[in-house]
Amino acid sequence: MGGKRGRLVASGDRRQAIALIHEASAAGARRHKSCEILEISVRTIERWEKDNGIEDQRKIMSRPAANKLTENQRNDVLSMANSTIFRDLPPSKIVPLLADEGIYIASESTFYRILRAEDQLTHRQTSRPVKHHRPKMYVAYGSNQVWSWDISYLSSQIRGLYFYLYLIVDIYSRKIVGFSVHDQELSEHASNLMIQACNDENVLPHQLVLHADNGGPMKGATMLATLEKLGVMPSFSRPSVSDDNPYSEALFRTLKYHPTFPILTKFENITAARVWCEKFVFWYNNEHLHSALKFVTPHQRHTGADELIRFKRDLVYKLARKQNPERWSGNTRDWHLPATVTLNPNKKDTQMSSSVLTKVHEQKRLDGASDCSRQTANAVRQYG
């Protein structure tokens, strides 16, 4: 029953406290000790035991808001909002139009509050309400299932002249599966790059989804015809929403923040841009330890060689913990990767499915049925 001085204690709680203290006193307990347990003073109990002490004697004042609208004023707001003139308009337009006529009934926020209370805050126009569509979700269970591509500017030494980097990335492995540099943004260039990438990766018809934004080369007739011929499913971002194409955007950030990127000297010509991009792609695919891949290279993830690498790392940590258990207060570092990668995920659906698929994937790895699992067994013998 403890609290600040002057707090309101209900009548039932007061009766219960008096009964408990009387019971303790009858059993031989000191009165002030019983009050300490209940976190009240002896003076408080004495006051409660007096006539009319059970009921709080303070007067409860009711102070209605001075600026509260009367019922007639609320009805005026509803009548005006539902009138023939304003029934199709939102409060944000009703209030200025009334002000133009020299009329003030209530503020815009008051209009919204009253309409919300009356369950009338809906689409008020005769036209169809705007529908907000999320892009379709695609899940990659392995390499060469979902690709993302985009075009980025590369500055030249001539002001206003740019080269254009066409770049395709596999969202599952983060590997750059195709790139080219041109002096124009054309659908034909993108089409040729896509054909070359599909040939290099041996992509079969109806195996791949290609995601891009809403740029001209992405939606050009040549590019769409090529995708249809290759059996590739096109996917597009929402207009002006860069978050729908995060893998390409993140890759361009890595590219332009690379220490060797000529941010000050620019590219001398298109040949220099192509040479630099070729070196970057080789470094990124084969040497760059990707933080989103538990620090294996995209090429290792793309070919499946990362499973043995991550297993060896996990084994090293477990052996180290076994030799020096006092240095670990919890589990060793988690080297596992999710079994799937999702483009434009619906968070509620993917959290559950990803956890289930990860368990299935890890169980398959531990069963020792594949070649990679046999390599894992050899690693156990080697480190054991």
Residue 270 has a pLDDT of: 96
Is 300 a member of any domain? no
pLDDT tens sequence across 333-348: 999 999 999 998 876 6
Is 298 a member of any domain? no
Residues 179 and 227 in one domain: yes
Residues 146 and 268 in one domain: yes
Is 294 a member of any domain? no
Is 199 a member of any domain? yes
Residues 193 and 172 in one domain: yes
For tokens 């020792």, the residue is 368
Q: Is 35 exposed, middle or buried (0-12, 13-18, 19+ CB in 10 A)?
A: buried
What's the distance, Cα to Cα, between the start and end of the chain in Å? 62
Last residue of a domain, one of 225, 254, 289: 289
Residues 285 and 178 in one domain: yes
Q: Report the alpha-carbon angle 193-196-139, nearest 5.
A: 80
Query: How far are the Cα atoms of 125, 126, 127, 265, 304 from residue 130, in angstroms, in the given order?
Result: 11, 12, 9, 48, 45
Amino acid at 36: E
Residue 61 has a pLDDT of: 67
What's the total number of domains in the chain?
4
Report how far residue 94's alpha carbon sits from residue 258's, in angstroms, rounded to the nearest whole number. 54
Residues 207 and 335 in one domain: no
Amino acid at 314: D
CB 311 within 8 A of CB 332: no
Sign of the four-CA dihedral 26, 29, 30, 35 = negative
Last residue of a domain, one of 256, 289, 322: 289
Residue 377 has a pLDDT of: 39
Mean pLDDT per 10-residue interval, the chain, length 384 residues: 75 88 91 88 87 75 79 93 90 94 94 92 78 83 96 94 97 97 95 96 95 90 94 89 86 96 95 97 97 96 96 94 91 93 77 50 46 42 40
Its domain, for residue 210, covers 138-289
Residues 339 and 281 in one domain: no
* Sequence-ordered strand ranges (E) for the chain: 138-140, 146-155, 162-170, 176-182, 209-212, 233-236, 341-343
Is 124 a member of any domain? no
- CATH (domain of 226): 3.30.420.10
Residues 147 and 262 in one domain: yes
Structure tokens at 21: 């203290």
Residue 267 DSSP symbol: B
Q: Which residues pair with 211 in a beta bridge?
A: 148, 235
Query: How far are the Cα atoms of 105, 321, 334 from residue 209, in angstroms, in the given order?
Result: 56, 43, 30
Report how far residue 193's alpha carbon sits from residue 164's, in angstroms, rounded to the nearest whole number. 13
Residues 280 and 331 in one domain: no
Q: How many CB atoms lie within 10 A of CB 193?
A: 21
Last residue of a domain, one of 289, 317, 350: 289
Residue 69 DSSP symbol: P
On the CB side of 308, how many CA atoms lie within 13 Å of its CA? 18
Report how far residue 234's alpha carbon sits from residue 236's, in angstroms, rounded to the nearest whole number. 7
Residue 44 has a pLDDT of: 87
Q: What is the radius of gyration, based on Cα positions, of the chain?
A: 35
pLDDT tens sequence across 92-115: 999 999 999 999 999 999 999 999
Residue 382 has a pLDDT of: 43
Residues 237 and 160 in one domain: yes
Length reported for the chain: 384
Residue 133 has a pLDDT of: 73
Is 122 a member of any domain? no
Residues 6+ apart with CB under 8 A from 50: none
Residues 6+ apart with CB under 8 A from 43: none
Residues 230 and 365 in one domain: no
pTM over 0.75: no
Query: How far are the Cα atoms of 23, 115, 140, 293 from residue 54, in angstroms, in the given order?
Result: 18, 45, 70, 69
Residue 374 has a pLDDT of: 47
Is 208 a member of any domain? yes
Residues 182 and 241 in one domain: yes
Is 299 a member of any domain? no
Report how far residue 264's alpha carbon sits from residue 157's, in angstroms, rounded to the nearest whole number. 9
Structure tokens at 346: 């619906």
Residues 193 and 146 in one domain: yes
pLDDT tens sequence across 289-330: 999 999 999 999 999 999 999 999 999 999 999 999 999 888
Structure tokens at 182: 């041109």
Residue 259 has a pLDDT of: 95
DSSP state string for 125-154: SSSPPP--PPPPPEEESSTTSEEEEEEEEE
